[in-house]
């Protein structure tokens, strides 16, 4: 019998913790499910409240700011009341947030939903601060990353079902109004389930476990050795980069808040100065950081660059993950403002059978720049308001578009600014009647279209008076085509993925995520974790580059592949960051690593901004840069930790 063979869940004293591990793993399923619903919520608010992609990223901002607010208190709480008490407290917070969605739906204001999102996130913060490090100590030390990746596989299962439930309630066939009224239902269900799980934990055995303290970070004896001389430059560099990350966070937060509290002139002046002010403030911390780096002892977690670098790696990883997850539906659907779609046009033959029954595909109704076939003729009619339809459209145009229209001269003007502005305004006009609470006028009015020769197809739709969103949009596009037959083209046989279809497709993307976690957990038993992390990071750099390149279906497939290769990153960075620290130091370090999840609050807004200004393919520049940093952390981890590697039976963990 091979006595060297070790089980994943058996302690050195022979105690089996299999039941405890899988009970804790159920928490990963809960927060995966909640996060999966969050990622489908962004698109709902874009449609319901007419938000841009950057504005809808407030959902992610509220979610991840919950992590920022609760991470350090969660670490302190866990050190005081232990793993079990921390888990129960976290579950109660999640329940509170879930039940809050009932009054939030009646209030029906964006801030009320954001408050519920933030409350749930604060509860999840406590659970993550406790559960992530706890899984690494429930068995042999060398299998810590394997266990945390296995537990995170449950997170992947939750992420598969979260979007399915979210799509069912957030994208009702009855339209955005109906969907908005039932948004609270899945969250109340979550509240009930987590209360039951909290009861189970109360009666279950969840022991606090003492682990080896390789770096002596829990040793509080006086006279601790100062950090090794060769470590000091690394310590200083990592501390400075963390301060720089805080500076970036402040910059992004101010850029988010300022537009709503200052006028346009002041905003422009502040935005010019802000980068220099924050950059100077960050640089001014260098003398203080240099002094601290010289005095820091080996007892401090900050004396170990593999930990401080992990906080940065986790910051950029969660930024990339939150961005890709949040804008998955936008990546799969047609941009309602400019008609851009990463997914190639779908043939009408696809809209049949179960796909049609489930409403996964819809008519592609948003105007593209090329759909304006005769800009001079269209501009002339809108300028002169020569008929009732032209007069109505002109009255609905934005101030900027009217200004461009007034300056336009067909013989000498550059057509692109006006073409782009008209396209966006027309896309807004055909959609504005969908949200009844806005009380915007509908495009069709019998008297307005009295002089327009309607096609047979248009006349039939008018008589049907469709109430479903896509059917109404199809009618409006046909009406525009009939009113401007030479200027505005429309082919209603071209199909696209619907929001509901994309919401369900995101569950398939999370199958890739789950497969990546499961295969990654097996791979990490045989190969050093830091090398696998570096390799996966490098592959995802290439994957994002192919998305940016607009390669049609290849780019679409790469979005799904990015899920597979990012799957192991969060748990692996976590395990590498707390490697070798003592029991109490693991709890403290975990709080900081969880707090670095705030990257997910800030960077998706930048990705959304890229999507608004350019397109969703170009928006993948943000995660590409993030994956470069993650790859570097993986490849240089052994130098940062002064360890040969974590994992694999032959890996050395000595120092």
Three state DSSP letters for 448-509: CCCCCCCCHHHHHHHHHCCCCHHHHHHHHHHHHHHHCCCCECCCCCCEEECHHHHHHHHHHH
Q: What confidence tens digit (pLDDT) does each residue in 547-563 have?
A: 999 999 999 999 999 99
Element (H, E) at 362: strand 361-363
Structural domain that includes position 481: 368-494
Please give the pLDDT value at position 275: 86
Asked if 587 and 310 count as a contact pair (C-beta separation under 8 A), the reply is: no
Residues in the chain: 655
Backbone phi, then psi, for 297, in 5-degree steps? -100, 165
Please give the pLDDT value at position 333: 93
Residues 373 and 488 in one domain: yes
Two structure tokens written together for 434: 């969908």
- The residue from 494, 522, 556 where one domain ends is 494
Residues 627 and 490 in one domain: no
Residues 475 and 572 in one domain: no
Asked if the structure places residue 538 within a domain, the reply is: yes
106: burial class by Cβ within 10 Å (0-12, 13-18, 19+)? Answer: exposed
Residues 154 and 257 in one domain: yes
Please give the pLDDT value at position 393: 94
Please give the pLDDT value at position 257: 64
Residues 464 and 560 in one domain: no
Residues 276 and 139 in one domain: yes
Residues 263 and 135 in one domain: yes
Q: What confidence tens digit (pLDDT) does each residue in 529-538 have?
A: 899 999 999 9
Backbone phi, then psi, for 367, in 5-degree steps? -75, 140
What's the number of domains the chain is made of?
A: 2
CA angle 341, 347, 350 (to 5 degrees): 105
Please give the pLDDT value at position 425: 93
Residues 312 and 172 in one domain: yes
Residues 106 and 252 in one domain: yes
Q: What is the DSSP letter of 364?
A: -
* Closest residue by Cα to residue 366 from 322, 336, 406: 336
Asked if the structure places residue 458 within a domain, the reply is: yes
Which positions of the chain have pLDDT values less than 50?
A: 1-4, 215, 221-227, 229-230, 647-655
Largest Cα separation within the chain, whole Å, is: 93
Q: What is the DSSP letter of 217?
A: T
Please give the pLDDT value at position 43: 64
Query: How far is Cα 244 from Cα 611, in angstroms, rounded to an integer?
Result: 25
- The residue from 448, 476, 494 where one domain ends is 494
Asked if 608 and 103 count as a contact pair (C-beta separation under 8 A), the reply is: no
Please give the pLDDT value at position 297: 60
> Can you tell me whether residue 373 is helix, strand or coil?
coil
Q: Taking the model in full, what pTM does it have?
A: 0.75
Asked if the structure places residue 350 within a domain, the reply is: no
Asked if the structure places residue 611 within a domain, the reply is: yes
Asked if the structure places residue 213 within a domain, the reply is: no
Backbone phi, then psi, for 342, in 5-degree steps? -65, -30
Those residues whose C-beta lies under 8 Å from the C-beta of residue 475, and which sit 6 or more positions away, are: 444, 458, 461, 462, 466
Query: How far is Cα 204 from Cα 227, in angstroms, rounded to an integer?
Result: 41
């Amino acid at each position: 019998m091979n006595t060297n063979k070790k089980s994943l869940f058996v302690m050195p004293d022979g105690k089996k913790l299999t039941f405890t591990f899988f009970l804790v793993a159920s928490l990963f399923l809960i927060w995966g499910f909640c996060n999966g619903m969050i990622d489908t919520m962004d698109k709902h608010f874009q449609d319901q409240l007419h938000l841009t992609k950057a504005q809808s990223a407030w959902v992610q901002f509220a979610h991840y700011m919950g992590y920022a607010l609760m991470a350090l208190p969660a670490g302190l709480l866990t050190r005081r009341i232990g793993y079990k008490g921390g888990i129960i407290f976290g579950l109660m917070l999640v329940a509170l947030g879930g039940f809050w969605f009932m009054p939030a739906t009646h209030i029906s204001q964006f801030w009320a939903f954001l408050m519920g999102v933030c409350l749930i996130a604060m509860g999840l913060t406590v659970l993550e601060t406790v559960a992530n490090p706890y899984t690494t100590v429930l068995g042999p030390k060398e299998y810590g990353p394997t266990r945390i990746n296995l537990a995170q596989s449950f997170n992947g299962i939750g992420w598969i079902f979260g979007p399915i439930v979210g799509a069912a309630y957030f994208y009702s066939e009855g339209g955005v109004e109906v969907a908005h009224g039932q948004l609270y239902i899945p969250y109340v269900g979550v509240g009930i389930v987590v209360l039951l799980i909290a009861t189970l934990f109360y009666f279950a055995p969840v022991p606090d476990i003492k682990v080896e303290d390789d770096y002596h970070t829990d040793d509080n004896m006086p006279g601790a050795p100062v950090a090794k001389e060769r470590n000091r430059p690394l310590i200083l560099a990592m501390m400075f980069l963390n301060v720089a990350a805080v500076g970036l966070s402040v910059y992004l937060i101010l850029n988010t808040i300022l537009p709503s509290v200052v006028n346009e002139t002041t905003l422009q002046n502040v935005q010019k100065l802000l980068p220099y002010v924050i950059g100077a403030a960050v640089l001014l911390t260098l003398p203080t950081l240099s002094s601290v780096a010289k005095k820091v002892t080996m007892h401090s977690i900050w004396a170990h660059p593999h930990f401080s670098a992990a906080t940065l790696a986790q910051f950029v990883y969660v930024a990339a993950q939150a961005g890709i997850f949040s804008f998955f539906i936008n990546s799969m659907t047609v941009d309602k403002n400019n008609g851009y779609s990463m997914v190639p046009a779908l043939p009408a033959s696809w809209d049949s059978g179960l796909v049609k029954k489930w409403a996964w595909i819809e008519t592609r109704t948003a105007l593209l720049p090329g759909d304006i076939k005769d800009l001079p003729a269209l501009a002339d009619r809108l300028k002169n308001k020569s008929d009732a339809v032209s007069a109505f459209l002109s009255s609905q145009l934005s101030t900027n578009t009217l200004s461009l229209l007034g300056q336009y001269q067909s013989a000498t003007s550059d057509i692109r600014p006006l073409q782009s502005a008209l396209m966006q305004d027309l896309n807004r006009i055909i959609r504005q009647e969908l949200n009844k609470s806005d009380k915007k006028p509908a495009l069709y009015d019998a008297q307005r279209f009295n002089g327009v020769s309607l096609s047979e197809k248009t006349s039939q739709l008018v008589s049907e008076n469709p109430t479903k969103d896509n059917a109404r949009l199809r009618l409006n596009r046909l009406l525009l085509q009939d009113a401007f037959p030479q200027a505005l083209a429309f082919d209603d046989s071209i199909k696209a993925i619907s929001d509901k279809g994309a919401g369900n497709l995101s569950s398939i993307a999370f199958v890739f995520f789950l497969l990546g976690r499961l295969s990654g957990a097996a791979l990490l038993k045989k190969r050093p974790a830091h090398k696998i992390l570096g390799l996966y990071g490098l592959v995802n750099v290439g994957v994002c580059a192919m998305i940016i390149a607009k390669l049609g279906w290849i780019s679409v497939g790469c979005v799904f592949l990015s899920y597979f290769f990012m799957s192991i990153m969060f748990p692996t960075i976590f395990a590498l960051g707390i490697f070798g620290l003592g029991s109490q130091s693991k709890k403290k370090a975990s709080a900081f690593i969880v707090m670095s999840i705030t990257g997910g609050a800030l960077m998706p807004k930048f990705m959304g901004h890229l999507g608004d200004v350019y397109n969703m393919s170009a928006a993948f520049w943000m995660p590409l840069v993030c994956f470069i940093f993650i790859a570097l952390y993986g490849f240089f981890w052994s130098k940062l930790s002064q360890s040969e590697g974590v994992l694999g039976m032959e890996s050395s963990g000595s120092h």
